Chain A
């Protein structure tokens, strides 16, 4: 499945941070949605700013335009404000990208659990992310930290409880 680039991707000004406030806001919104959909397409969870600059998303070889590191950080900062991104270090070189927020993941997992009538049963985290039963689900292959966060989100809603098992962590849905 090939990724479909938005029209802005071939518009040179897209790769220059616009000084006009209104224009910039629209531009950043377009960037945010592009970054998220790209990460979702490639199933990216952690991103290194310097590495990602060379990836096709920020580097359009066709029109020879490249978003600068500073601009990438502005885009990422915007994503952070929207709750889709978390910095992993103070220097803001690596970050966690949540193209789906933990609450949304939790909702998906809970839907799957209730659909299969497994409320009130206990799962290990491994079972959820790598088990055979979840193979066709979107959250299959979800990284542990992300899974744990989504379960914690469910926990806050009172729909699940994360429990410590002998060989790791487990979860019980209500």
Chain B
């Protein structure tokens, strides 16, 4: 029992809790220790025990102290136990509840069971020896070393002093962490777009670096930004998203919500639409919008309803439903006749085209390419050849 030392019960930086079990009594060798029933905690580095009622009363020992351990089955009127054999206490050990002990082992008596799982996890930790790979940030020995020069404060005063020290330490750590974060935020806010959805700190950092490099290159008028960088930058910009997404929370439900949503869609879809030749399938719009919105995801129904508002709000976009039921969002300026004429030109040039070939030719999705061909057919400019080879479109010679 003399291997135990006082602790505040908090885990160190690199330490993680593995398992805890309440209703455990400690035995010093074969004798009941003069401690009440408590909670035993197993971390990656230590074995801790805390009094169930008085939480200040908490003791621990490093796992490295353990030589081996064994199970002791339950009997009549006896709880199951785990016997833990220990190395002798190091000379510079911090004070604990027991100054000396004639036993070189302790027992954990599980009044409320759970010994099987605890045993298994303890076995895991002992074989993995994670305390060796990731030493805790402030190894216990250093604090112990500092302590060594000081008068040994034992008992309640000692505990209090230790707690106070720990608290100060934690405070310091936290304020350092916040300092880092605010530096990062400063960096981010210097970017051109004020609306940034931070998905992760690493992305933000990458973004800052990337934008800096691009900005400096543009400044130098070298203009030789690699394609790779452009693409990456573009993808970051895309995922940056909408600063203040219209949500049901901000705009209530019903028509007003859809109207606001439609306005926002109008703003954000303009550029991608122009890039894609004036037309996008609604599914594509859905993906794009939700990616930009980040956490405030939109339901497909809300999107459709918002798109239906385009016309009444006099926005330059339109929701269009093809005869096949395919829905697309297109720019109002998108000229249908031109589109049909271009389809006819393409088909005439090649003699005949399938939707797939046409899609490849224009860089559109097959679905949209097909809709264009069908539209041209509907207008009587094309006719079809539906054979085993698939559906081909020909100029209408009839």
Q: Mark A49-88, 1 if CB is under 8 A from B, else 0.
A: 0000000000000001100000000000000000000000
B394 interface residue (CB < 8 Å to A): yes
CA gap between A15 and B352 in the complex, in Å: 15
Complex CA–CA separation, A13 to B392 (angstroms):
8
Closest chain-A Cβ to B381's Cβ sits at a distance in Å of 9
Q: Are A30 and B387 in contact (CB under 8 A)?
A: no
Question: Taking the complex as formed, is A23 at the interface, i.e. its CB lies under 8 A from any CB of chain B?
Answer: yes
Q: Are A15 and B387 in contact (CB-based, < 8 A)?
A: yes
- A19 CA to B391 CA in the complex, in Å? 13
- Cross-interface CB contact of B377 among A8, A15, A19, cutoff 8 Å: A19
Q: Is the CB of A13 within 8 A of B380?
A: no
Residue of A nearest to B394 (CB): A13
Which chain A positions have C-beta within 8 A of B385? 12-13, 15-16, 65
In the complex, the answer to whether B380 meets A65 with C-beta atoms within 8 Å is no
> What chain A residues lie within 8 Å of B352 (beta carbons)?
12
Is A121 engaged at the interface, CB distance under 8 Å to the other chain? no
- Judge whether A20 and B378 touch: CB under 8 Å: yes
- In this assembly, does B384 line the interface, its C-beta being within 8 Å of a C-beta of chain A? yes
Residue of B nearest to A7 (CB): B397
Whether A18 sits at the interface, judged by CB under 8 Å, is: yes
B344 on the A face (CB < 8 A): no
- Determine whether B72 belongs to the interface, using a CB cutoff of 8 Å to chain A: no
In the complex the two chains form, is B386's CB within 8 Å of A30's CB? no
Q: Shortest beta-carbon distance, B385 to chain A, in Å?
A: 4
Which residues of A in the span 79-126 have a Cβ within 8 Å of any Cβ on B? Answer: none
How far is it, in angstroms, between the C-alpha of A111 and the C-alpha of B398 when the chains are bound? 37
What band does the interface of chain B fall in when counting residues whose beta carbon is under 8 Å from A?
Answer: 10 to 19
Q: Which residues of A contact B383 (CB under 8 A)?
A: 13, 16, 18, 20, 23, 27
- Asked whether A43 is an interface residue with its Cβ less than 8 Å from the other chain, the reply is no
Q: How far is the CB of A137 from chain B (nearest CB, A)?
A: 36
B388, closest chain A residue (CB): A64
Inter-subunit contact A8/B398 (CB<8 Å): yes
CB of A26 within 8 A of chain B?
yes
Kindly identify which residue among B386, B387, B398 contacts A23, using a CB–CB cutoff of 8 Å. Answer: B398
Is A11 interfacial (CB 8 A cutoff)?
yes
Which chain A residues border B384 with CB–CB below 8 Å? 13, 16, 18-19
Would you call A22 an interface residue if the criterion is a C-beta within 8 Å of the partner chain's C-beta atoms?
yes
Nearest B residue to A17, CB-CB: B386
Q: Report Cα–Cα, A27/B384, bound state, in Å.
A: 12
Contact with A along B354-398 (1 / 0, CB 8 A): 000000000000000000000001101001111100001010111
- B377 close to A20 (CB less than 8 A): yes
Query: Across the interface, which residues of A come within 8 angstroms of B377, CB to CB?
Result: 19-20, 23
Interchain nearest-CB distance for B346 vs A (Å): 16
Residues of A within 8 A of B392 (CB): 12-13
Q: How far is the CA of A20 from the CA of B340 in the complex (A)?
A: 15
State A52–B1 Cα separation when bound (angstroms): 104
**In chain A, residues 1-49, which have Cβ atoms closer than 8 Å to a Cβ of chain B?**
7-8, 11-13, 15-16, 18-20, 22-23, 26-27, 30
Please determine whether B380 and A23 come into contact, CB atoms closer than 8 angstroms.
yes
Nearest-Cβ distance from residue A65 to partner chain B, whole angstroms:
6
Tell me the complex Cα distance, A52–B392, Å: 26
By a CB distance below 8 angstroms, the chain A residues around B394 are: 11-13
Q: Residue on A with the closest CB to B386?
A: A16
Q: How far is the CB of A148 from chain B (nearest CB, A)?
A: 38
Residues of chain B contacted by A18 (CB below 8 angstroms): 383-384, 398
Docked-complex contact B387 and A20, CB < 8 angstroms: no
Alpha-carbon distance A86/B352, docked complex (angstroms):
37
A30→B383 CA distance, assembly (Å): 15
Shortest CB-to-CB span from A34 to chain B, Å, is 13
13 A/B residue pairs, CB under 8 Å, sorted by A: A7-B397, A11-B397, A13-B384, A15-B387, A18-B383, A19-B384, A20-B377, A20-B378, A23-B396, A23-B398, A27-B383, A64-B387, A65-B385
Closest 3 CB pairs of A and B: A26-B398, A12-B385, A13-B383
